[in-house]
Homo-oligomer: A and B are copies of this chain.
Amino acid sequence: MATSGQAGGRYKKLINDPFAVVDEALEGFASAHADLVRLAAPRVVVRRTPAPDKVGFVVGGGSGHEPAFAGYVGLGMADAAACGNVFASPPPDVVLEAIRAASSGRGVVTGYGNYAGDVLNFSLAVELAAAEGIEVREIRVSDDVASAPRNEAEKRRGIAGDIIVFKCVGAAAERGDPLDEVERIARKANAATRSMGVALSACEVPGSGRLTFELPADEIEIGMGVHGEPGIRRGPLEPADEVARALVQTIVADIEGGVAGRPIALLVNGLGATAYLDQYIVYRAARRLLEAAGATVARSYVGEFITSLEMSGASVTVTVLDEELTALLDAPARTPRMVVW
């Protein structure tokens, strides 16, 4: 049985030392976007020009998900990003450094995907920050409906919904909202957001010498996460319309009150190797299904927002909007990988 992977079940990569990928890429990133960001410490990306008086916003997580997370540091989004090794949460001292950089005395919010490693490391950092007198609120994005049932929604992991939540939180902080307000927005945006993804092929953590999983040549994994964590089922490779139907149906069924008559944001995220052509075909299918379910697609985002190295696949994210969230999504942002104007 043929296995997924570029060649011989492995991927060819444009890298040097497999253990240096994160630091080399961050050096490149910081120099390419030096007008917007800089490296405050080895794994800590901060705004070139810090915002003087606002609630700080720190994002972070494992590397290998670019443009997440450093790509969202800048005006209207994050003040700092804490970057870990590939698919590994940054350690507490890196997160603490990011919190310090983001702090201008009005408190800090940290936003990250709900994974065991991130929870452990960020929580420790938050404790350390508190000991330094910095008040930090944590928001664990948990949009992946495939990762836990609705009655255990707090166990769900965070995938592409990160970007919707980060955009809203960043905009709220940027306009000067106080800490409680920014935290409220964070929880509200997270609660309004649901995602589900599908993987067509695996990726390879540099240095691991193997793919993150094996998928038969004619199968896909429905509900897979952004690290190759197994999803809810494997099935044959179906047309994009059918794949989109599986994702959208599960998402819509999870939204209390459904989507009929409601404005939504629709985000399609490519995992890395999926062509834009395919991403827009999935978007088209998802949009048709959501409109058929009575939703009004008020805002759309298509592209690679949070990837899994060179994995092939995509996810669909739906956020039920109101005026407040819509205004925050539309607020200006100028970051290396998201510009809203």
Contact = CB atoms under 8 A, between A and B. Distances in A.
Contacts of A31: 283-284, 287, 297, 300
Contact of A283 (B15, B28, B203, B283): B28
Nearest to A34: B300
A115 interface: no
Contact of A28 (B28, B66, B67, B280): B280
A324 B138 CA distance: 47
A319 interface: no
A49 to B, nearest CB: 15
A239 interface: yes
A32 B341 CA distance: 16
A278 interface: yes
A200 B281 CA distance: 26
A36 to B, nearest CB: 11
Interface of A: 2-16, 21-22, 24-29, 31-34, 63-64, 66-67, 71, 86, 198, 200-201, 203, 215-218, 220, 237, 239-241, 243, 272-285, 287, 297, 300-304, 307, 309-310, 312-314, 332, 334, 337, 339-341
B217 A7 contact: yes
Given A7-B4, A281-B25, A15 B310 contact: no
11 contacts: A5-B6, A7-B216, A13-B278, A16-B239, A16-B281, A21-B277, A24-B284, A31-B297, A63-B277, A274-B310, A334-B341
B283 A32 contact: yes
Contacts of A274: 14, 310
Contacts of A300: 31-34
Contacts of A10: 217
Contacts of A303: 337
Nearest to A8: B2
